[in-house]
Amino acid sequence: MQRYFANPALDALSPEEIYVLQEQRLVPQLTYCRDHSEFYREKFRACGVEPGDIKTLDDLRALPVFMNKDQERLNAQESLERDGHPFGTHLCADPKDIYLTGTTSGTTGMPTFTYTFTKQDVETIAPALGWRFAYNGLAYGDRVLFIFALGIYATSMSLWGLRSIKGVPIDVDARAGSELMLRFADITRPKYMATTVSLSEYLIGKAPVVLGKEVGELGFRGLFLTGEVGVSIPEVRQRIESAYGCRIYDYWAPAGHAIAITCDSPSYSGMHWVAPDLCTSFDDLVDPETKQPVPVVNGAVGEMVITSLRRQASPLLKYATGDIVQVWTEPCPHCGFPGKRAQLIGRADDMLVVKGVNIYPAAIKQVVQGFTPQVTGEMRIVLETRPPRVVPPLKLKLERSGQVVDTDLEGLARRIVGAMHDQLKIRPEIQWVDSGSLEKSTRKTPLFEKNYE
Ligand SMILES: [Zn+2]
């Protein structure tokens, strides 16, 4: 029998039987959360339901959203002040039982330790994270060049998955620079590479300079790319696949949930959700504006809402992710995968992604405004392609004030770029325009100049 799911027992189940399995796990998880977290206890109280009332997925969908990133950050602030740890008031385990923790790459505000696990959590999800890579052929002993910002960042979680299937990660911190990455690619002869879309593109141009050969000569069998919309864009995919001479795969596991990857299909057919027994993410969509439920039918588009089904340390209940996804409920036309598949469409807000780093226009504006009165503070982010993904450098149009002389502009730009790099990890390209030339609106001044429309 063909294996599709991380838990092979699911392969024998119909979609309806998988729903039943999820539903069996709802009451125990929700009860656990209420019993171990004041935050969740208050949420249940506020909507007047008991965990025991939530017996079906429809019951769950009918519940209001409990949490989003902003709420999570408030919870973290509260637990930091009151309990002396940053894991939030939704933490359900004793802080001393935390076995692994990681933050999202958020660039504004307090980092949130969304990826916080007990040992049991890691043992539960690691095989699913591993199977996700194995789905397209990665096997025992295969070396994987693993390039992300490592350490406390969430992407490091995937290393547990790779090790669980006895893959051999060669983990290189992205901050080490392209030369080191390419040298490791050359000498360790990895079969696969896991990294971001933009970094994989960046290395295409760098390889001939650093190694004297093309990336296509490195012999990769596949690239696992995450963190950005890109694999689903045909031009991007064509460009990367033809340069490397192999298939690229889109994968993710937001907050350690919705563990999914694309298959070997020549056209994009969505990330295959290989562990539906661990959460309800592709089964609970809401309208991003109203937060009202969106029926999960083939092709449905909505904001993904996560509810954990087997999580100890930091379970999420009715967590609106801000990720807008399109979900397919029909089997994959290429590989026959019988579960749900999804494509990330974008973010509910205006987030941009530059070289794998999440950038918020408001944060850019804040840095720019720190340079008044030499700048007026008016700005536009110039987008050549549809966001969120921006091929670096990010282009910024800034208004110079009347008091800055031409000869000072270069130094001013350099200082602004330096501040952007320090605070936001980007090096934008600055284009000066005269004071008053960017149109202001009495309502909401646009942040973007969209050249792709
Ligand atoms: Zn497939």
Give the pLDDT score at 442: 46
Give the pLDDT score at 441: 56
Task: Say how many Å lie between the CA of residue 25 and the centre of ligand 1.
Answer: 27
Give the chain's domain count: 1
Task: Say how many Å lie between the CA of residue 26 and the centre of ligand 1.
Answer: 28
Q: Please check whether residue 119 lies inside any domain of the structure.
A: no
Q: Please check whether residue 237 lies inside any domain of the structure.
A: no
Contact yes or no for 222/246 (Cβ under 8 A)? yes
Task: Say how many Å lie between the CA of residue 336 and the centre of ligand 1.
Answer: 6
Q: How many residues appear in the chain?
A: 453
Which SS3 state, helix, strand or coil, does residue 109 take?
coil
Give the pLDDT score at 342: 97
Beta carbons within 10 angstroms of residue 213's beta carbon: 12
Q: Please check whether residue 54 lies inside any domain of the structure.
A: no
Q: Please check whether residue 61 lies inside any domain of the structure.
A: no
Task: Say how many Å lie between the CA of residue 263 and the centre of ligand 1.
Answer: 4
Give the pLDDT score at 387: 83
Angle formed by the axes of helices 15-36 and 38-47, nearest 10°: 110
CA angle 243, 244, 250 (to 5 degrees): 110
Tokens in use for 258?
């919705």
CA atoms lying within 13 Å on the CB side of residue 76? 19
Q: Please check whether residue 373 lies inside any domain of the structure.
A: yes
Task: Say how many Å lie between the CA of residue 282 and the centre of ligand 1.
Answer: 16
C-alpha 375: how far from its chain's center? 34
Task: Say how many Å lie between the CA of residue 385 and the centre of ligand 1.
Answer: 28
Task: Say how many Å lie between the CA of residue 149 and the centre of ligand 1.
Answer: 29
Contact yes or no for 68/319 (Cβ under 8 A)? yes
Task: Say how many Å lie between the CA of residue 264 and the centre of ligand 1.
Answer: 7
Identity of residue 181? M
Task: Find residue 144's DSSP bridge partners.
Answer: 169, 192
Q: Please check whether residue 423 lies inside any domain of the structure.
A: yes
Cα–Cα dist 237/233, whole Å: 6
Task: Say how many Å lie between the CA of residue 165 and the centre of ligand 1.
Answer: 21
**Alpha helix (H) ranges present in 191-326?**
197-211, 234-244
Q: Residue 317 to residues 32, 94, 221, 261, 384: CA-CA distances in angstroms?
A: 11, 18, 38, 23, 37
Q: Please check whether residue 413 lies inside any domain of the structure.
A: yes
Task: Say how many Å lie between the CA of residue 229 and the centre of ligand 1.
Answer: 18
Q: Domain containing 423 — which CATH number?
A: 3.30.300.30
Exposed/middle/buried for 262, CB within 10 Å: 0-12, 13-18, 19+? buried
Q: Please check whether residue 146 lies inside any domain of the structure.
A: no
**Alpha helix (H) ranges present in 157-297?**
157-164, 178-188, 197-211, 234-244
- Splitting the chain (453 residues) into consecutive groups of 10 residues, what average pLDDT does each group show? 94 96 98 98 97 97 96 96 97 97 73 95 97 97 94 86 97 92 97 92 94 98 87 84 98 95 96 98 89 94 95 98 92 97 82 76 79 88 88 94 91 95 90 89 68 82
Domain assignment of residue 387, given as a range: 354-450
Beta carbons within 10 angstroms of residue 123's beta carbon: 13
